[in-house]
Amino acid sequence: MSTSAILLVGGKGTRLAPITNQTPKPMLLVAGVPFTEHQIRKAADAGITEIVLATSYKAELFEPYFGDGKRFGINIKYAVESSALGTAGGIRNAAELLGPCDQVMIFNGDVLSGHSLSAQLKSHIDNKAEVTLYLTEVADARAYGCVELAADNRVKSFLEKMENPVSNLINAGCYIFNRNIIDSIPKDQVISVERDTFPSLLNAGAKVYGFIDNSYWLDIGTPAALVKASADLVTGVIKSSATLEHTGDKIISSSAVIDSSAVINNGTVIEGEVVVESNTQISGSIIGKGAKIGKNCRINDSIIAPGTQIDAGMVIISNYLGF
């Protein structure tokens, strides 16, 4: 049975503004490469050979970087939404570019996870499911809404955000659809997979199952989460074949100039042409290309935009500057 994929990368990332004013969230650098590269590599590593990027906001930035996908070992195509169609509408639009396949794996473009795509696919096939949702348990589901399962992990209901959730299992942003289910979604309409498609499938008695995995999961939709994702990849808390090769707990470009007295650690990424002066400490941060960091600075868990000048003695904690 053959499986293709769709990656939903059309979102603007409003919670990340102003960082996303010029760069869409999926193209922000995480552990030295655009976040989308981590997801494309994960799909390729699982044996998927075809993926469609469903783009919208600043769609023109994706193809020049990813091309036809040959260097990632996967065939990449690009679907552009001239106006937002919602998650299900975007999936239906992107599916027009897929070749023949039995199942389609759908990825949200803003989730970093450690779950096994191969295990999710096996669960889908073993259950003879029509749709299989990756679910993960969170301490507080109030911000997400939740999913209620029967004893055999068949989905009973999707519940809106509530003050006292009946379950801590949430939709974690990776679905497997049988191809015929996607083909049944109406074309060129604004449709939400969460609010429209899934409830409709349940009402029709479709075989919708949950695949539970409680390994690493992170929504990168805020600056703090973006920095954490990057640091966790660099330090090996979560693995990705896209993470740039490095030694220790930092990535430093070969074109960066770092004073020997500077201390850089805890998953920091230093991009090209950065200058870091004496006695500066940088921990768990992303320093953009060409930034100049003065003497005696302390930067923790922060993002410094490309080309930004940080004056001597500045202390920057859990912040973002220069955007």
* Maximal CA-CA distance, the chain: 66
Query: Confidence class of residue 140 from pLDDT cuts 50, 70 and 90?
Result: confident
In order of their start, the domains of the chain are 3-219 (3.90.550.10), 245-321 (2.160.10.10)
| Residues 249-299: tens digit of each pLDDT | 999 999 999 999 999 999 999 999 999 999 999 999 999 999 999 999 999
159's tokens: 């519940």
CA angle 129, 130, 135 (to 5 degrees): 70
Work out the percent of the chain whose per-residue pLDDT is above 70: 100
CB 62 within 8 A of CB 27: yes
- Residue partners of 290: CB distance under 8 A and separation at least 6: 271, 272, 273, 274, 306, 307
Res 45 pLDDT > 80: yes
Q: Which whole number is the average pLDDT over 47-56?
A: 94
Res 47 pLDDT > 90: yes
Q: Pick left, alpha or beta for residue 136 (phi over 0 → left; psi -120 to 50 → alpha; otherwise beta).
A: beta
Report H helices in the chain: 35-45, 62-66, 86-95, 117-126, 179-183, 198-203, 223-235
Q: Which amino acid is at 152?
A: D
Query: Confidence class of residue 4 from pLDDT cuts 50, 70 and 90?
Result: very high
Cβ count near 32 (within 10 Å): 21
| Residues 13-24: tens digit of each pLDDT | 888 888 898 899
The per-residue pLDDT for 48 is 95
- Residue partners of 311: CB distance under 8 A and separation at least 6: 294
Is pTM beyond 0.95? Reply is: no
CA 211, CA 239: separation in Å to the nearest integer? 21
